[in-house]
Amino acid sequence: MAQTWGNFLFSLLDYKTEKFVIAKNKKVGVLFRLFQLGVIGYLIGWVFLWKKGYQETEEVIQSSVITKLKGVDFTNSSQSGLQLWGAEDYVIPPQGDRVFFIVTNYVVTPNQKLGYCPEVRDRLLFYFVIPNTNYATKNMRHLLERTGRCINDTGTCEIHAWCPVEHGQTPSEPMLAKAENFTIYVKNFIKFPKFAFSKSNVLPTTNSTYLKMCRYDKDHHPYCPIFLVGDVINWTGYSFQDLATKGGSIGVGIEWNCDLDKDESQCNPEYSFTRLDSVKNSQNSAISGYNFRFARYYNDVAGQTYRNLFKVYGIRFDILVNGKAGRFSIIPTVISIGSGLALMGAGVFVCDMILLYMMSKSSFYRETKFETVRVSLQTLIPAAPQTFM
Ligand SMILES: *[C@@H]1O[C@H](CO)[C@@H](O)[C@H](O)[C@H]1NC(C)=O
């Protein structure tokens, strides 16, 4: 028993090497070389050069976006007179978020007070006062009993609401036509935590004089962080006029694709622009456009509250940041090489199959490759001690 264990332990120190059979077969030989060339080509061309298989990558990007708008416009309407719109008025919310809204068109209902007034016929659904009633124009008689009065002149009933109710029509031209020339200054700070790499889209080479002058342009100023609203909309393939009148949503993409084996100055943002609220080939006007209402409240001298109701149309901008970074690392390099070598093994297997089973002389090759050894138990036992010598 002890001797068997001893034999086993000693045999662990033996090195076994494979014995090769060289088949002088040009067809299979050429096939095998072609396969090897293919694998080497794949490994070098696709895995290493194109896919950068020697790099460790990081797809998590930490980013912060700060925006600032500039530009002023005047509007003149019959209800509210001459008005000046600065960034503090037309940007909602004003704190310079990643997502912001620019007012380009609006309907204002000034000086609303809480009280009783007739409804406006085509806006019935907005202002009903009785909860849980499903009333429309047809059911107006019903309402008569519930609230008391209906007014013959307007053909509608009286309601308790902020009066007068909104009745203005959306202007067919954007009220803030100069919004086209407003500028958006986008500051984007990014960080790839795995590589402790951080950068900003305002490049270190940018000075303040350039920042005052430049406007982003794909060809001439690709790294200028200041965008003209009108240009951004044009690059999405839509017209400013359309979007500004009915409202819409625009996505500004910032893509960071950084090869950190190269110099830091090679890691730069790439901008893209797209309209987010459009469904391709859809003519459905019910889903396009963007508007909402808000009110500004005041007190008059008598202490009574009144408000100005705004229904605003405009363009919502979403700044979408994504990116990835890669840097040389030994582990992915070894894994890529290893998987390439494994593919070579697949070549050996395929060529073996062809050689041993699909050629006219296959049986000859099989006989040479597979050696059948028949050993009786008697010869095996005395042979064992010989391995020690
Ligand atoms: C925007 O600026 C351009 C160039 O300065 C000017 O031609 C255009 O009239 C301006 N647009 C509006 C709506 O003011």
Closest residue by Cα to atom 12, ligand 1, is 178
Give 140's pLDDT tier (boundaries 50, 70, 90): very low
143 has binding-site annotation: no
Centroid of chain to Cα 254: 9
pLDDT in tens, 323-378: 999 999 999 999 999 998 898 888 888 888 888 888 888 888 888 888 787 766 66
Q: Above 90 in pLDDT, residue 208?
A: no
On whether 203 is known to bind a ligand per the annotation, the reply is no
Whole-prediction pTM: 0.76
285 or 165: which leads in pLDDT:
165
Cα distance between residue 119 and residue 158, in whole Å: 6
Tokens standing for residue 358: 């699909």
Of 335 and 115, which is predicted with more confidence? Answer: 335
Q: What is the pLDDT of residue 158?
A: 74
Mean pLDDT of 167-189: 90
Residue 366 labeled ligand binder: no
Using alpha carbons, list the distances in angstroms from residue 251 to 103, 134, 328, 366, 378.
Answer: 17, 39, 33, 66, 84
279 pLDDT more than 80: no
Domains of the chain: 20-54+330-369 (1.10.287.940), 62-328 (2.60.490.10)
pLDDT score at 125: 42
Q: Which residue's CA lies nearest to atom 5 of ligand 1? A: 181
Q: What pLDDT is stored for residue 371 in this prediction?
A: 78
- Confidence (pLDDT) at 389: 46
- Ligand 1 environment, Cβ below 6 A: 177-178, 180-181
pLDDT computed for residue 362 by the predictor: 86
Atom of ligand 1 nearest to the CA of 178: 13
- The alpha-carbon radius of gyration of the chain (Å, integer) is 39
| Listed ranges 116-130, 202-216, 239-253; the one with the highest mean pLDDT | 239-253
Q: What is the largest CA-CA distance in the chain?
A: 124
| Among 365, 371, 340, 370, CA closest to 29 | 365
Annotated binding residue 209: no
Q: How close is the Cα of 150 to the center of ligand 1, in Å?
A: 50
DSSP secondary structure code for residue 386 in this structure: G
Res 148 pLDDT > 90: no
The model's confidence at residue 149, banded by pLDDT at 50, 70 and 90, is low
Contact present, 326 and 113 (Cβ < 8 Å): no
DSSP 183-250: EEEEEEEEEEGGGTEEEESS-TT--HHHHHH---BTTTBTT--EEEHHHHHHHTTS-HHHHHHH-EEE
Percentage of the residues of the chain whose pLDDT score is greater than 90 = 47
Cβ-based burial of 103 (10 A; exposed 0-12, middle 13-18, buried ≥19): buried
Average pLDDT, the chain: 84
**In this structure, which residue's CA is closest to atom 10 in ligand 1?**
181
- Asked whether 9 and 386 are in contact (CB, 8 A), the reply is no
User: Please, is 274 exposed, middle or buried when counting C-beta atoms within 10 Å of its C-beta (0-12, 13-18, 19+)?
Assistant: middle
What pLDDT is recorded for position 121?
A: 63
- Expressed in angstroms and rounded, the spacing between residue 182 Cα and the centre of ligand 1 is 10
